[in-house]
Each structure stands twice: as structure tokens, then as C-alpha cells.
Amino acid sequence: MSDPIRVLVADDQGLVREGLMTLLQTAQGIEPVACASDGVEAVALTGEHKPDVVLMDLRMPNMDGVEATRQIRDRYPETEVVVLTTHADEASILDALRAGARGYLTKDAGLAEIARAIHAAAAHQTLLDPVVQSQLLAAATAGAGAAAPAPTAPAVLPDELTPREGEVLALIASGLSNQEIAHKLFVSEATVKSHINHVFSKIGARDRAQAVHYAYTNGLVS
């Protein structure tokens, strides 16, 4: 039997902290080890307890969750961060992901969703709340409109992506399935899957959520 995932909770509201600590004690394979009331304490306690995952609020005094996430990922790269917050706006999501957060949930999430995100983060996988993923997709495709042409990649592509790979990545970021991409590009689904595998390998993405974030932050969609 594997060791439980050790979790540190960071939230400036005492009732929320206590509630999460109690809730996580009932989750299979998870062991809450400490709680912090702000970002400064979260960084310090991460150094002390070396948790596998920090469950991080964003809006906290002294140091917010984004900066705390950045410092934790810089100082303790073996510790992953899952954001749990009331804020699901585009800026907050992107700031947290850029700081190194592995997951992003809103506080509407139940225990099952929180536990899933913690387990995914401990396995170094990304899990985003469906609301958050929809927000990223909406931001990436804002202004495109139903009749707008397919997004095109810029002339100079990062990470040695080919023009076709850039096009596939832009279509992924627009929310298209493999079948829809194949139909739009007049190629087989097997060809699309091959392109996606190459793209993910080059940009270091493990899933479509990470690919969407990469495409948006690198200007492959407008």
C-alpha cells in the first residue's frame, strides 16, 4: 500500500482551513499535515513539512497565493500546488498557472473533485475545474465568432513547432476534438493524433488543458 499524499492547506479564513483539514481526513489516500493562514506561512510550512501538495487560496494577506505558489515551486519543486479559490477570472487563472500551479479549482468543488485534483497533482498531472477550463477556452477564442476562420499560428513558432503542428495546437485551443480537427484539415484522425503527440512532446504538455494554456500564453490564438 502506497503512502498517503501529504497535504498542506493555505487559506486566510479560519473556518475554511478547519473545514478543509477535517474534510481531507476523510479522503482516501490523503493526509492533511498542516495549515497556513497566509502565503508567507504557506511557504515556511512547506519548507518545514515537505508536503506532496499544497491546497492554496489566492487572496490572502502578507503574500497572496500566486506569489506563494511561485516561491514554493522555486524552492521546493517536489511539492505541487492546487489552487482552491472563489476566483475564476481569466487573470487569476493564468497568473496561478504561470506561477506553477498544477491544478485550479473553485470553492464550489466537492470533496471528490478536490481529492481527484490532489491525486492528479501528486502524480504531476494537471486537473482544472470545468468552469476554469471553459474560461480559458472562452478567453482563447474570444471574438472568434461562429463564422470566423480557423485560428492560424504566427509565422515564427516556439519550441521548433512546425506550421502544421502550430495549426493543430491552435485548433485544440479553440476547443475542437480530434475528429473535428481532422475534418477541418482534411486529414485522418490518426494523422491528427500523430501531430498532437509531437506537439505535446515538444511543448512538454501532458494533456489538452496544458496545451490550451501554452497556446494562449504563446500567442498561437487571439
- Nearest 10 degrees: Cα torsion 209, 177, 110, 217: 20
Domain co-membership, 13 together with 90? yes
Q: Which residue among 85, 117, 137 closes a domain?
A: 137
Query: What pLDDT is stored for residue 143 in this prediction?
Result: 45
Enclosing domain of residue 78: 5-137
222 in any annotated domain: no
| pLDDT one-digit tens code per residue, 174-191 | 888 888 888 888 788 888
Q: Are residues 152 and 186 in the same domain?
A: yes
- For residue 137, what pLDDT is reported? 64
14 and 45 fall within a common domain: yes
Q: How confident is the model at residue 139 (pLDDT cuts 50, 70, 90)?
A: low
Burial 34-58 (b: 16+ CB within 10 A, else e): bbbbbbbbbbebbeeeebbbbbbbb
**pTM beyond 0.85, yes or no:** no
Q: Domain check: are 12 and 119 in the same one? A: yes
Which of 137, 157, 174 represents a domain boundary (last residue)?
137
Please tell me whether residues 59 and 109 are part of one structural domain: yes
Q: In total, how many domains does the chain have? A: 2
d(CA 91, CA 58): 12
In this structure, what CATH number is given to the domain that contains residue 212? 1.10.10.10
Q: How many CB atoms lie within 10 A of CB 86?
A: 11
pLDDT of residue 147: 41
The label of the residue with cell 477550463 reads 133
Q: What percent of the chain has pLDDT over 70?
A: 89
Query: Are residues 59 and 157 both part of a single domain?
Result: no
Residue 126, domain CATH: 3.40.50.2300
3-state SS, residue 151: coil
Last residue of a domain, one of 137, 164, 196: 137
Q: Are residues 23 and 119 in the same domain?
A: yes
Residue 205 and residue 200: Cα distance in Å, rounded? 5
